[in-house]
Amino acid sequence: MKQIIFLFLLASSLFALPSFSTAQKEKYLYVLGKKIASLSCKELQNEKFETLKALYDAVKSRCGLREERYNLALSYYLWDRHKKKSASMVLHVTKKERCPVCGMFVYKYPKWIAAAVTKKHKKLYFDGVKDMMKYYFLHKNEIEHLYVQDYYTKKVIDAADAWFVTGSDVYGPMGEEAIPFASKTSAEAFRKDHGGNALLRFNQLSGEVIGKLDE
């Protein structure tokens, strides 16, 4: 909520929409942002940001848009799109679903399930983050989105938003794992209780890091 309040306070100070309701302002920003996204600053659109303000600052400093309202609109559109994607994923695993990396039946390990959505809207399920990342490294150009579950709450979250603990004393179906959390606080609490040699963000889960989990 604080993110949205920040956005609309900023919007009000940048351009006048005196007769617009909050919903109308939101629609205006979304439509304008979508148009801008189709034309410019595409290199920023696949990056992930922890807060709306961080995204706004990146747009403002890197996109070179002529007007402040364009920075605002693009930030709102990208943030809204990202949040809708994160919220829309539901893990629906049948007993026939096999991990495409190791071949194990995924339904047997519900708390470890991770998922990928391809650009053709196909859902792939994995028995852990480790196997999901192995697949991702081989098929990056085919993948639209990756999802993991918070270890404690089982909430489905965007992999790009997660914090991962590696090297802990908690093992998944395929041995050592990169264990995901929705917040740094919960990841650090887990690490305090279960050890671990690293606390990482998604972009730090390199092939080398994942490979070491099998050693």
* pLDDT one-digit tens code per residue, 41-56: 887 876 777 678 888 8
Nearest to 119 by CA among 88, 148, 141: 141
- The rounded mean pLDDT for the chain is 86
Beta bridge partners of 163: 181, 201
Q: Where do the domains of the chain lie? A: 2-88, 106-212
Burial class of residue 192 in the structure, from the number of CB atoms within 10 Å of its CB (0-12 exposed, 13-18 middle, 19+ buried): exposed
Whether residue 81 has pLDDT greater than 80: no
Q: Is the pLDDT of residue 194 over 70?
A: yes
* Closest C-alpha to 142, from 117, 161, 160: 117
The token duo for 178 is: 């990169």
Q: Is the pLDDT score of 165 beyond 70?
A: yes
* CA atoms of 138 and 115, how far apart (whole Å): 15
Q: CA-to-CA distance for 138 and 19, rounded, in angstroms? A: 51
Instruction: Choose the most confident range, by mean pLDDT, from 30-34, 42-46, 108-112.
Output: 108-112
Of 128, 123, 122, nearest to 102 (Cα)? Answer: 128
Whether the Cβ atoms of residue 174 and residue 131 lie closer than 8 Å to each other: yes
Burial of 167 (0-12, 13-18, 19+ CB in 10 A): middle
The CA distance from 164 to 142, in Å, is: 23
Task: Report pLDDT for 85.
Answer: 62
